[in-house]
Structures are given as C-alpha cells and as structure tokens.
C-alpha cells in the first residue's frame, strides 16, 4: 500500500534557500546604496501567530536570528493565537510606517480590510508560514511556507506504511490544528484524500481540533479514548498534539506507537525523541526555519522588486522510527 515515491531520504531537512537566495545574490543593491546615500536600516514589522508549539518557538527564533544577521530592525509581536491581536499589530506597524510587514495568519479569512489599509499606505506585505483567502491577490507580495495539503497526503502515506501488514479494522482518530487555519484545513484535506483511496475498511472514527497545543492534544485524546475505545491509529496534525495525546494514551493504560499507531507533522526535537522511544511511528516534516528567506524577500521588496514568486515553497522530508535515532543529532529545531 505504501507508495515509495512519497519517501524522501530523510537526511537533508533544510529550508529551501535556492531560488530566492540566488535571486538575492544577483540583486543585492538596496535603494539607499543604489542612490549613493548611506544605507538606511530596513524596518520589518512581524506579527507572529503565538507560542502554541515547538514549531512556533523554532520559527520565532529563526525570524529573530535572521533579522539580526541581516541587519534588519525587527519589530516583533505575538498574537496569542487571536486574529484581532494580529489585526491590531498590523495597524500599529502601518502607523509606525515600517518598510515591510510580515505575518503568519492565525486563520485564512478576514484579512481584506487590514491588507487594503497596508496597500493604501504603500507598505508591502509578505506572508510567512500560513496563507490567507483574499479576493485581491495583490494584497500580499509572496507567501513563504509549506504545502500543507501535501503534508497531509504524506502523513497518510506514512500511516499506510506504519500499518503495513496490519490485519483487522483500522479506527483512526485525528487531532486537527487550529480551526480555520491553513495548516488545519489543508492537512485535513490531504489526509482525507489519500485515505479515501486507501483500504476501504480503514475509517476516521473521530476528528476534532486540539488547537496545535500539547494540552489540547492531551485533553481531546483523553475524551476520544473514552468515547471511542476502539481507536488504534492517530493522525495528529502537529507533534505537540501527538505528545499530549501520548500522555493521555499512557494514562489510559495503552502503549502509544504500539496499541495506537501515531503519525504527526512537524519534526521538532521532542517529536523526534518520542520517535526514538517508539511512541510516535512516523513524522511528515514541516520546516519552521523560514527566517533567512523572509529577510531576503524583505530586502528585495524594500528595494522595489515586485515580481517575487507568489509562493516560495519549503522543502521537507518524511521520517520513520528506524531513521529517528540517526537523524536526531543533526536536527536543527
């Protein structure tokens, strides 16, 4: 059942720097240097989703480190997973007349008005990590981030791999990410698509959001195990929810990774440790180290470049338990 084409070697887990970095090298004059003046420090206003997960912590660190390395003045705010906080942060960046605005949108809808305000103020907007649904695509320059639908599909193929040789029913549970967010919508879609074409006796018996947090994963999994004791497989849409679910599974007297097979997305350090312990069976990686690409893009748009690719996709790999121990020391997040 496993489609081997979906497996990458699992060694190179680095963010794509290719096309954009190459672009940056051939086009590295800033507006200040091209007019012969003293180089003006670029100010970037960045509105982060929150601090819900290990992925997010690594993403925040990457943005801060890359800004410092690029000599960019970073204004950073944490929206605590609330869209109204992000809208307020973006409005404040517009008021402060920053050179470029970037944000990782909590949810996909509801951005038209504030993005029109940024456009009217002639401040370019770069999306990182998550996409938005807007009627006018010119409201942002580019999205730097992963293909979440492909991640959902990869996770489903990993589940097929993990369940190879399994006899009897497969009763899957799914822990979804934040409701209305791009990764939750698209990972759900990708996973369901592959499952629909998979073994007809495999069923998703229960699915609910755990809000991408460890605590959410623990609470929701505990409730799942009460209402559906027949669950023997879990797709957690991030490692943190899987780690919370592992606690709930152990508290219910079952063995995670054995009685209940677990596949998750991200590939953060703690997720890898759980794989080496046999508690997570496989991970579809999602790379959070987007900072360097964001700084390259910010410099280019500030220098007046308008034709960046509309979507700069992150490269990532799949990992199974047998690869985890060898890969763990080389993981960067």
- Kindly list the residues in this chain that would bind ligand GYE in the complex (CB under 6 A): 52-53, 55-56, 129-130, 183, 212, 238, 240, 265-266, 286
Q: Which is nearer to ligand GYE, 124 or 152 (CB)?
A: 152
Q: Which is nearer to ligand GYE, 99 or 318 (CB)?
A: 318
Closest CB 244 distance from ligand GYE, rounded Å = 12
Closest CB 313 distance from ligand GYE, rounded Å = 13
Q: Which is nearer to ligand GYE, 43 or 48 (CB)?
A: 48
H or E element: which one contains 102?
Answer: strand 100-103
**Residue 275 vs residues 37, 148, 152, 185, 285: alpha-carbon distances, Å:** 54, 22, 19, 25, 13
> What φ, ψ does residue 111 adopt, rounded to 5°?
-105, -10
H or E element: which one contains 234?
Answer: strand 233-236
- Would you state the structure tokens that stand for residue 35, as one six-digit string? 């007019």
- Strand duo 233-236 + 202-209: pairing: unpaired
Q: Which is nearer to ligand GYE, 143 or 233 (CB)?
A: 143
Cβ neighbors of 117 (< 8 A, separation 6 or more) are 90, 91, 94
Closest CB 56 distance from ligand GYE, rounded Å = 5
Closest CB 212 distance from ligand GYE, rounded Å = 4
Closest CB 241 distance from ligand GYE, rounded Å = 8
Burial (CB count <10 Å: 0-12, 13-18, 19+), residue 100? buried
Closest CB 180 distance from ligand GYE, rounded Å = 12
Q: Which is nearer to ligand GYE, 32 or 273 (CB)?
A: 273
Contact 148, 182 (CB under 8 A): yes
Q: Which is nearer to ligand GYE, 99 or 266 (CB)?
A: 266
């Amino acid at each position: 059942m496993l489609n081997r084409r979906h497996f990458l070697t699992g060694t190179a887990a680095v963010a794509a720097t290719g096309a954009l970095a190459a672009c940056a090298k051939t086009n590295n004059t800033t507006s200040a240097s091209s007019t012969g003046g003293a180089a003006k420090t670029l100010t970037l206003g960045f509105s982060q989703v929150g601090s819900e997960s290990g992925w997010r912590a690594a993403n925040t660190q990457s943005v801060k480190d890359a800004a410092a390395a690029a000599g960019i003045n970073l204004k950073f705010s944490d929206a605590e997973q609330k869209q109204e906080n992000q809208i307020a942060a973006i409005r404040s960046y517009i008021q402060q007349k920053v050179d470029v605005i970037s944000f990782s949108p909590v949810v996909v809808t509801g951005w038209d008005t504030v993005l029109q305000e940024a456009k009217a103020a002639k401040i370019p907007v770069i999306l990182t990590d998550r996409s938005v649904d807007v009627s006018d695509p010119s409201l942002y320059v580019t999205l730097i981030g992963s293909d979440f639908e492909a991640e959902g599909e990869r996770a489903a193929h990993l589940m097929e791999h993990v369940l190879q040789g399994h006899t009897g029913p497969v009763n899957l549970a799914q822990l979804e990410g934040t409701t209305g967010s791009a990764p939750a919508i698209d990972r759900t879609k990708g996973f369901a698509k592959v499952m629909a074409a998979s073994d007809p006796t495999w069923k998703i018996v229960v699915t609910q959001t755990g809000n991408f947090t460890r605590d959410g994963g623990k609470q929701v999994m505990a409730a799942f195990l009460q209402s559906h004791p027949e669950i023997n497989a879990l797709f957690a849409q991030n490692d943190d929810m899987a780690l919370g679910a592992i606690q709930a599974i152990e508290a219910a007297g079952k063995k995670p990774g054995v009685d209940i097979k677990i596949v998750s997305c991200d590939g953060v350090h703690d997720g890898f440790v759980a794989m080496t312990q046999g508690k997570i069976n496989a991970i579809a990686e999602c790379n959070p180290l987007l900072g360097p690409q964001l700084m390259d893009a910010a410099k280019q748009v500030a220098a007046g470049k308008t034709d960046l690719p509309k979507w700069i996709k992150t490269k990532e790999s799949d990992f199974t338990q047998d690869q985890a121990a060898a890969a763990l020391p080389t993981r960067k997040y």
